[in-house]
Structure 1
Amino acid sequence: MRPTPGLTPVIAIVNVGVVIVAAVVLLLVYPLGGDDGDAPATDLAGPAASPAPPPSPSPSAPPPATPESARQARANELGMIPVLMYHRILKKRLASIDRTPDQLRHELERLARSGYVPITAAEFAEGAIDVPAGAHPVVLTFDDGHPSHFALGSDGRPKPGTAVRIIFDVAEKFPGFRPVATFWINRAPFGLRDHARQAAAVQWLVEHGFEVGNHTHSHPDLHRLTAKKVSEAIVRQQRLLDSLGAPRTPTFALPYGSRPKKRSGAREGKWDGTKYDFDAVFLAGAQPAISPYAKDYDPYNIPRIQSNGKKGECRKWCSEYWLGWLDKHPGRRYTSDGDLTHVSMPRRFQGKIQAKLRGVAIAY
């Protein structure tokens, strides 16, 4: 995979190893629970595996971008997009990959002040990046469906301190901060064991614009499994998601960021009569992602940035470092032209766009 404009990608193997070790410890101490919740076998094949060209504008869409408007916005839609990875949100961190509610709130407010607008992983993968001119997309992802991510209080609102409540609080404080995120869940979504309560939680999230997707049924290390077992782990979870009323999403997140020996098994396969076919596979680290409009974009190896400070290996691999780097190098990050029908970039980057999108390119 070659770099996005001007950046040489370095795969942070050490950091991914830290994520794997920490997550293994979490599963040993806090194993997944809940019933299988399997639904009858069905064909769950997803859409085609390539981001579609930007959609046609709606009647209420802003006017089409022009070279002048793109220049004024300093648009670069071939720039890098941070895909942030979160795990548990706890008042007292028990593992290095945990974050406290205050740490999450601080990071989201930093994003809002820097002009970032959240989109879902599915919107990223589909190339449907609809943020205002001059703004930057960010993808907030939460793994494992932990109780600290989402729970409703007696008032029908997300409980204080949960990830969803913090996202809404930040959106209320910063109206331009769109309250959406992606939750990749396992067999006991948000710690719930009752199928009806699981379905109610998933449907609440979907109705409020969140994406709920597949993180396998029991969170295994897929690299250690046979191809058949890899497909089984994914299909079992896809059946559960289907039974809970979650719309079929084109995205999949690898547990521990660990790829199967047969790498294609993470994106497509079949088990017990049920097929799956994902458009995008997300890793566990460790740098900003390439724009889905860039010709170097690899939909089956999308990196994520672990949310964390700058100690140890995180000195150059986690969110505090990378968000600071993008602030210092604004020409390298994705900045929107505000127009879904065009892809705008400085002229020096125009050779980096996918060939199929050259007809909608604006270079200034």
Structure 2
Amino acid sequence: MRIPGSLPRIIGVANIAVITVAVVGLSLLPGEPRPPVRPKEAVKAGQSPAPAGSSAPSPAPSTSPVGQPPGVVATPEFARQVRANEAGLVPVLMYHRILAKRHASLDRTPDQLRKELEKLAEQGYVPITAREFAAGDIRVPAGKHPVVLTFDDGHPSHFGLDANGAPLPGTAVAVIQEVAGRHPGFRPVATFWVNREPFGLRDRASQQAAVRWLVDHGYEVANHTWGHPNLRTLRHKKVSEQIVRVERLLKKLGAPPSQTMALPYGSMPRPGKAARSGSWDGTRYDFAGVFLAGAEPSLSPYAKKFDRGAIQRIQSNGKKGECRKWCSQYWLEWLDKHPDERYVSDGDPERISIPEALRGNIVAKRGLEVIAY
């Protein structure tokens, strides 16, 4: 299973360059006001956000993965019935700022985000984190499809807490929680790759409150380097320093060690292995996955050609200009029209189910049993 030959890699590389230019321009534009966080009134562990527009917190939902009922074991007959294909393509969607009024091509409005998430829910997608995806720990119900929602730069529009400890309306997290509330099978999780001021917050107490809320509610907060430099222009030691400084910050804020990181501008350092593992000043890092700013769906983490050091993503956007064939609207429509190319879960995390014709395309990780039908 592969991306069709009509979509040559060279165009994807060109699109990364376009994304780079757009991100640079975005960084020069004025940001939204930083959301207020009052540490003394910040949410307590175990609380959940109220629906958008409401200030009263509600009981916390389970943060355990959505999946099959306990004890379900996939069989060839069952895999065939649900048309399981765990060698299929997975959309890893890339978002930047979520603004009421867009200022750059990478921006999306809360309404655009909401509509895209609604479409994903209606088409049977279930969010998982980048950490879960890179590790091949995909736990979604049988017949459903994993999707990875990723947000770069830790912008204020991604998350903030109001005075009652609930996500600020209009932020990415508030929209995700809102959509999940209307679609119970749509798991409210995403990955936020942050820099030195997570979500635009400058005081440590506010940063801790934000990061702890996200971690407690199943979201992933991970590494996007300290200062968002083009890593390709830095020496090996400086690359490691950029990564380690964020790891130390996240530890102070109560987040677990990062298992994933997103390359600023999608730019790979030289050597490329410096992005995935290394050390600086006595602190080591070793990521399960490094993510690009690419232009196509990712291969399954079970695929032989899956590269954990260069995982593809898709920019969230409509079908205009450079995005006519490279952004989320195009690819989600393409996957819907080509269901045999899409990852379909068998509902059993201990087994990998695939059509017989794809047996040679996968590698069984972690001793998982392979079912070919």
Q: Do Structure 1 and Structure 2 share a fold, with TM-score over 0.5?
A: yes
1:181 and 2:181 aligned: no
Change (3 A) 1:17 1:157: same
Aligned to 2:73: 64
Counterpart residue type for residue 203 of structure 2? D
The answer to whether 1:281 aligns with 2:290 is: yes
Please say if 1:248 is aligned against 2:264.
no
Residue of structure 2 equivalent to 1:110: 119
Say whether the 8 Å CA contact 1:295–1:355 is kept in structure 2.
Answer: no
Q: What aligned pairs does 1:145-224 form with structure 2 within 5 A after superposition?
A: 145-224=154-233
Letter in 1 for 2:13: I
Shift in CA distance, 270/358, structure 1 to aligned 2, threshold 3 Å:
closer
**Any conservation in 1 of the 2:302–2:365 contact (CA below 8 Å)?**
no
Task: Tell me how far apart the structure 2 counterparts of residues 30 and 230 of structure 1 sit (CA, whole Å).
Answer: 27
- Partner residue, 2:21: 21
Distance in 2, Cα, partners of 1:60 & 1:322:
31
Q: Secondary structure at the match of 2:255?
A: coil
List runs of 5+ in structure 2 lacking aligned partners.
35-66
Give the whole-Å Cα distance in 2 for the aligned partners of 1:307 and 1:178: 19
Whole-angstrom distance in 1 between the partners of 2:20 and 2:68: 47
Asked if the contact 2:29/2:103 (under 8 Å) is kept, the reply is no
Q: Report the number of matched residues.
A: 338
CA RMSD of aligned residues (A): 2.0
Q: AA paired with 1:149? A: H
Residue 271 of structure 1: CA displacement?
A: 1.3
- Matched residue SS, 2:132: helix
Whether the 8 Å contact between 1:135 and 1:336 is mirrored in structure 2 is yes
**Residue matched to 2:244:** 235
Could you tell me how far apart the structure 2 residues matched to 1:66 and 1:121 are?
A: 28
SS of equivalent to 2:268? coil
Conserved in 1, the CA contact under 8 Å of 2:128 and 2:146? yes
* CA distance in 1: counterparts of 2:68 and 2:324, whole angstroms: 46
CA pair 147-355 structure 1, distance change in 2 beyond 3 A: closer
Q: What is the SS of the residue equivalent to 1:293?
A: coil
Tell me the distance in 2 between the aligned counterparts of 1:359 and 1:211: 25
- Give distance in 1, aligned partners of 2:290 and 2:229: 16
Q: Distance in 2 between matches of 1:265 and 1:15?
A: 24
SS in 2 for 1:231: helix
Work out the CA distance in 2 between the residues paired with 1:358 and 1:278: 21
Alignment of 1:25-64 (within 5 A): 25-30=25-30, 61-64=70-73
Give the Cα separation in 2 of the matches to 1:5 and 1:318: 18
2:349 corresponds to 1:324? no
Look up the match of 1:73: 82
Which deviates more, 60-69 or 339-348? 60-69
Identity %: 63
Aligned partner letter, 2:22: A
Amino acid at match of 1:17: A
Corresponding residue for 1:310?
319
Which amino acid letter does the alignment assign opposite residue 113 of structure 1? E
- After superposition, the C-alpha distances for 1:176-223 in whole angstroms (9 at most, x for unaligned) are 100000000001111100011101100100000000000000100001
What displacement does 1:27 show?
2.2
Q: 2 CA distance for matches of 1:216 and 1:63? A: 41
Match of 1:348 in 2: 357
Using the alignment, how far apart are the partners of 2:30 and 2:170 within structure 1? 20
Name the aligned partner's letter for residue 349 of structure 1: L
> Does the 8 Å contact 2:128/2:147 carry over to 1?
yes
Q: State the secondary structure of the residue aligned to 1:23.
A: helix
* Offset of residue 61 of structure 1: 2.1
Alpha-carbon distance between aligned partners in 2 of 1:62 and 1:206, rounded to the nearest angstrom: 28
2:206 partner SS: helix
TM-score (norm 2): 0.87
Distance 1:217 1:327, change over 3 A: same
Q: Mean alpha-carbon deviation: is it higher for 96-105 or for 17-26?
A: 17-26
**Offset of 1:62 from its aligned partner?**
3.9
Offset from partner CA, 1:203-252 (integer Å, 9 cap, x none): 10000000000000010000111111111111111111111111112111
Q: CA deviation at 1:275?
A: 1.4
Q: Supply the distance in 1 between the matched residues of 2:105 and 2:262 (Cα, whole angstroms).
A: 20
**Other-structure match for 2:107:** 98
CA–CA separation in structure 1 for the residues paired with 2:170 and 2:18 = 26
Deviation at 1:6, TM superposition (A): 6.2
CA contact (8 A) 1:87 1:97 kept: yes
Q: Which secondary structure does the structure 1 equivalent of 2:323 belong to?
A: helix
Measured in 2, the distance between the counterparts of 1:63 and 1:293 equals 21
Question: CA-to-partner distance for each residue in 1:99-155, whole Å, 9 max, x for gaps?
Answer: 000000000000000000000000001111000000000000000000000011223
**Pair 1:226 & 2:235 matched:** yes
User: Contact 1:5 / 1:78 at 8 angstroms: preserved in 2?
Assistant: no
1:78-89 map, 5 Å: 78-89=87-98
Please say if residues 62 and 338 of structure 1, whose CA atoms lie closer than 8 Å, have aligned partners that are also in contact: no
Q: Give the residue type in structure 1 aligned to 2:194.
A: I
Q: Which residue of 1 aligns with 2:39?
A: none
Aligned to 1:139: 148
Alpha-carbon distance in 2 for matches of 1:61, 1:270: 41
Of the two structures, which has the highest relative contact order with CA contacts closer than 8 Å and spacing of 6 or more? 1
Q: Provide the C-alpha distance between the structure 2 equivalents of 1:59 and 1:189, rounded to a whole number of angstroms.
A: 34
Contact 1:117 1:177 in 2 (8 A): yes
For residues 356 and 172 of structure 1, do their structure 2 counterparts lie closer, same or farther at Cα, with a shift above 3 Å needed? closer
